[in-house]
Chains A and B, each alone.
Chain A
């Protein structure tokens, strides 16, 4: 069953059309990457799923139930982590989780057990001071804990890693990855390395619509490239080499990017051996989501 289904969603802010008919379905137990440029409408879509913003037209279903704006009944299936979560600074993390648990109408014992479990998962179990002094990373980790508290069927994360340093980013991704067994994750980002690390599926949002959609592994193979890079030691050699072959792009004085057929690599290698050209590096360019994203965004 689809955990989330969005049908022909449209939204304008003044004259600006942010979403122009978005269709999306997120299967259960997937980690769904929601990728787009800044201002592509990722946050807008998420807020509409949560019933915080009113769509101009279109329908959203969470776990089969229709989302109605202003009414928060479908939110019991959802855990939400905003890009910069804000908490009540006068409370401690435990007190905050208790408030969340009681808002979810959970039992007292269940709240306590689940809080401890999650606080140790996100590495905050030893923090007992009020949230006033929390760093961004700590807030993000507590944000994940509060989102997972009610064992949601759908976890929505709005750019959870954008504001973090590399260590914080890795920690957050690891936590999300470990949550995959329990829930479906919809995860917006513009960091493609994160998508490649944890997502099973990905959609690219462009001009208010889904531009590309599919499983991460499939998408990467859909756009196969036979690009490879050759770095010569002497600049003169790079010039010589680029003159000898056709499909060559000279990105730097000593760096050449070949983008011909698969067999071309062997020709180039033979040429290099025959002419005894000293090289510092030969590398095959992996097909990446980034190149795909660039292609999509350029349209």
Chain B
């Protein structure tokens, strides 16, 4: 346990000193502010456009903006934030393979699975922290400008989206155990998401895939209840568990 904590501390120290943590915090806060800002600016932008739209025969009457508009923005923009997070953190293993820093630590008798788990926990922590930071910022502004109660089942919807991010983190771990290069990890993770997305195009199956966790509009408007997510949440959690468990023997057999 001691060696695991030591390596975990090293990872955190690296996040702080390399500036990765700062960059991500700023990013998540900016996204948090952007969501209500875009919502707030929507009527003004529509008004700007209405002149030209009217010429084309379109008539725009008063646009009402609510907290729901802002939350819709949140779930749109968090995709970009997740993408940036993946870009920054997908090299967390491969950088160490290539520089040889990991070899030296492993020859100290530190188990490979501890290295893997420490890096997994760090990614999970940063993702969780960043995601909820963004959420809290948006929540605060929304409460100030409008009323958050309009978004029904907001917390379950947000938790589901967070779980999708956790699944991505688990994919990064598996592909980092399989591949030696950063590109390999990115391709593997991206390819898996694309694959699951394509499978999810079949309506009967979609409800079971992690992609379904992103279909939260019906939850927010209250059109459907949380129950429709049960299947997707279960499969995603099982997938995460399997990904991590499979990564351990893969990592143990890796040639370094």
Q: How far is the CB of B36 from chain A (nearest CB, A)?
A: 36
Contacts of A72 in B (CB 8 A): 106-107, 109-112
Q: Are A82 and B104 in contact (CB-based, < 8 A)?
A: yes
Q: Give Cα distance in the complex from A150 to B254, angstroms.
A: 25
Q: Are A70 and B6 in contact (CB-based, < 8 A)?
A: no
Q: Are B17 and A90 in contact (CB-based, < 8 A)?
A: yes
Chain A, 79-101, contact with B by CB distance < 8 Å: what is the 0/1 string? 01010111110110001001110
**Count of chain A to chain B residue pairs whose CB atoms are closer than 8 Å in the complex:** 80
A-side interface residues, number (CB < 8 Å): 31
Q: Are B101 and A88 in contact (CB-based, < 8 A)?
A: yes
Q: Give Cα distance in the complex from A146 to B108, angstroms.
A: 9
| A286 in contact (CB, < 8 A) | no
Q: Are A75 and B108 in contact (CB-based, < 8 A)?
A: yes
Q: How far is the CB of A67 from chain B (nearest CB, A)?
A: 12
Contacts of A69 in B (CB 8 A): 253
| A105 in contact (CB, < 8 A) | yes
| B43 in contact (CB, < 8 A) | no
Q: How far is the CB of B116 from chain A (nearest CB, A)?
A: 12
From A48-56, A113-121, A160-168, A271-279, give the one contacting chain B. A48-56
Q: Give Cα distance in the complex from A215 to B253, angstroms.
A: 37
Q: Are B108 and A71 in contact (CB-based, < 8 A)?
A: no
Q: Are B106 and A75 in contact (CB-based, < 8 A)?
A: yes
Interface residues of B in 3-38 (CB under 8 A from A): 3, 5-7, 9-10, 13-14, 17-18
Q: In the complex, given contacts A99-B10, A150-B109, what are 7 additional A-B residue pairs having Cβ atoms less than 8 angstroms apart?
A: A71-B252, A75-B106, A75-B108, A88-B14, A90-B18, A104-B3, A105-B109
Q: Which 10 A-B pairs have the closest CB atoms?
A: A102-B6, A90-B17, A103-B108, A80-B107, A103-B110, A70-B252, A76-B109, A86-B100, A75-B109, A103-B3
Chain A: residues with CB nearer than 8 A to chain B? 50, 52-54, 69-73, 75-76, 78, 80, 82, 84-88, 90-91, 95, 98-100, 102-105, 146, 150
